């Protein structure tokens, strides 16, 4: 790949994930503090991303892949998204906010696949070249968190305006990306929906993994929806910036996956990640910003091993089990189930749970954070028991 193309794709990835990170992490804080919503409404707002994740593969497979150049569609979606984000920054009514966030996530989620498509089409060896490009997306997320936290605007509409400005910039920039014309082929609805991958459920161990993967996303939604409001409530300064330590640990553990996978195998990798999830939630339950502040930072830093060792290992396991004919369908199915169905359920469960453990005192909501974080810890512990006794790692004994 020419160096100039590598630079252009790296900038694309940086901006793609900067846009997302600029508003997503702190949306819960914005809703609770600025729009004065309840926790149930926060969960409902975050559920929109899961709804979009369910619909996005249909849009990409049935429309985008057949009729439009990826870079032009990418630019168009980001320009429309920039306009929606700018409108969101002026909204003070939650019902209007919810519909606009749904509209924006429907516009944004297809762009993740589109950026990957643009990148892959320029590569001769995707396995070797793509990680060096994709890592700039994580860098973009980190920069967004540091900027929002450093400016102390976590409860401000400026987060949406920063995201809108960067989306507009990426929208314009996308039209100068390498040409990625559509693939002229008949849409395969079975492949798009992952129907062909259902044969994986003939394998009992894969079925156990699949159920666990869906279930583990329910407690994961607690972290995505309420970690930033929780840290701010604990008095942590620059909470959004400090949460980027999780992405830094993600980079580190990503490098360790090949070594650990060879040494531990699938089952131990997945169990280790789930155990760290329990430790994270317990650290949040008993941590505070005084003598136990280290527990809060430990919970953030555990993000790398929690995310990488479960999701990346799960993707590798799925790829090995699927076989050549249904690799794409299998990856689409697991993404649909986790980020779609699992996170959708988790968003509402986290919202109702947080709302149930809150008390209104003189117009101010006080949250029983210890009880709140014990709920995802308990759900994850059940997942560990289920997985431990029913999963068999036939590839590593």
pLDDT tens, 171-185?
A: 999 999 998 887 655
What is the rounded distance in angstroms from the CA atom of residue 371 to the CA atom of residue 322? 40
393: pLDDT strictly greater than 80: no
* pLDDT-based confidence at residue 115 (cuts at 50, 70, 90): confident
Range 279-308 average pLDDT:
89
60: pLDDT strictly greater than 80: no
What is the rounded distance in angstroms from the CA atom of residue 13 to the CA atom of residue 141? 10
What is the rounded distance in angstroms from the CA atom of residue 212 to the CA atom of residue 317? 14
Range 303-326 average pLDDT:
79
147: pLDDT strictly greater than 50: yes
Written as six digits, the tokens of 6 are 């590598």
Taking a C-beta distance cutoff of 8 angstroms, is the pair 210, 337 a contact?
A: yes
More confident residue, 324 or 174: 174
* pLDDT-based confidence at residue 352 (cuts at 50, 70, 90): very high
What is the rounded distance in angstroms from the CA atom of residue 187 to the CA atom of residue 199? 21
pLDDT above 90 covers a percentage of the chain that reads 53
**Could you report the per-residue pLDDT of 212-236, keeping only the tens digit for each?**
999 999 999 999 999 999 999 998 9
pLDDT of residue 134: 84
Name the residue with tokens 């954070």.
369
What is the rounded distance in angstroms from the CA atom of residue 240 to the CA atom of residue 300? 11
Sign of CA dihedral 101, 150, 226, 157: negative
Q: Please report the beta strands in the chain, taking only residues with DSSP state E, as ranges in sequence order.
A: 358-361, 364-367
More confident residue, 113 or 190: 113
pLDDT of residue 397: 45
pLDDT of residue 396: 52
Taking a C-beta distance cutoff of 8 angstroms, is the pair 13, 115 a contact?
A: yes
Give the mean pLDDT of the chain: 87
Q: Which of 6-10, 189-193, 351-355 has the lowest mean pLDDT?
A: 189-193
187: pLDDT strictly greater than 70: no
* pLDDT-based confidence at residue 313 (cuts at 50, 70, 90): confident
More confident residue, 356 or 120: 356
Instruction: Give all domains of the chain, ordered by start, each with its CATH number.
Output: 1-181 (1.20.1250.20), 188-397 (1.20.1250.20)
pTM: 0.84
Range 294-311 average pLDDT:
90
2: pLDDT strictly greater than 50: yes
pLDDT of residue 326: 60
What is the rounded distance in angstroms from the CA atom of residue 314 to the CA atom of residue 49? 21
Range 71-79 average pLDDT:
93
**Could you report the per-residue pLDDT of 369-392, keeping only the tens digit for each?**
999 999 999 999 999 999 999 998
What is the rounded distance in angstroms from the CA atom of residue 318 to the CA atom of residue 310? 12
Range 241-245 average pLDDT:
90
């Amino acid at each position: 790949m020419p160096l100039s193309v590598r630079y252009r794709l790296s900038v694309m990835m940086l901006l793609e994930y900067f846009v997302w990170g600029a508003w997503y992490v702190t949306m819960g804080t914005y809703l609770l503090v600025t729009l004065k919503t309840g926790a149930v409404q926060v969960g409902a707002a975050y559920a929109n991303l899961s709804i979009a994740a369910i619909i996005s593969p249909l849009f990409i497979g049935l429309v985008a892949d057949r009729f439009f150049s990826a870079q032009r569609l990418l630019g168009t979606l980001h320009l429309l998204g920039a306009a929606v984000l700018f409108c969101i920054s002026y909204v003070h009514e939650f019902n209007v906010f919810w519909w606009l966030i749904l509209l924006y996530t429907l516009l944004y989620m297809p762009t993740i696949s589109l950026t990957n498509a643009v990148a892959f089409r320029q590569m001769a060896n995707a396995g070797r070249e793509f990680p060096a490009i994709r890592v700039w997306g994580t860098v973009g997320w980190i920069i967004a968190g540091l900027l929002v936290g450093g400016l102390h605007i976590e409860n401000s509409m400026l987060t949406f305006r920063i995201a809108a400005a960067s989306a507009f910039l990426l929208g314009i920039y996308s039209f100068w990306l390498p040409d990625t014309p559509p693939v002229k082929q008949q849409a395969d609805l079975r492949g798009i929906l992952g129907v062909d991958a259902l044969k994986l459920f003939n394998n009992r161990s894969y079925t156990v993994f699949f159920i666990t993967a869906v279930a583990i996303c329910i407690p994961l939604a607690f972290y995505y929806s309420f970690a930033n409001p929780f840290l701010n409530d604990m008095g942590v300064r620059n909470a959004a910036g400090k949460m980027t330590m999780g992405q830094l640990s993600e980079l580190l553990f990503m490098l360790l996956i090949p070594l650990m996978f060879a040494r531990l195998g699938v089952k131990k990798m997945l169990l280790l990640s789930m155990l760290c999830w329990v430790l994270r939630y317990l650290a949040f339950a008993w941590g505070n910003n005084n003598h136990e502040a280290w527990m809060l930072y430990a919970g953030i830093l555990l993000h790398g091993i929690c995310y990488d060792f479960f999701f990346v290992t799960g993707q590798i396991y799925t790829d090995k089990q699927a076989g050549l004919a249904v690799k794409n369908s299998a990856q689409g199915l697991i993404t649909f189930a986790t980020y779609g169905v699992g996170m959708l359920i988790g968003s509402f469960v986290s919202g109702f749970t947080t709302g149930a453990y809150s008390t209104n005192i003189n117009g101010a909501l006080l949250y029983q954070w210890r009880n709140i974080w014990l709920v995802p810890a308990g759900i994850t512990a059940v997942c560990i028991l289920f997985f431990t006794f029913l999963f068999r790692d036939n590839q590593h004994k």
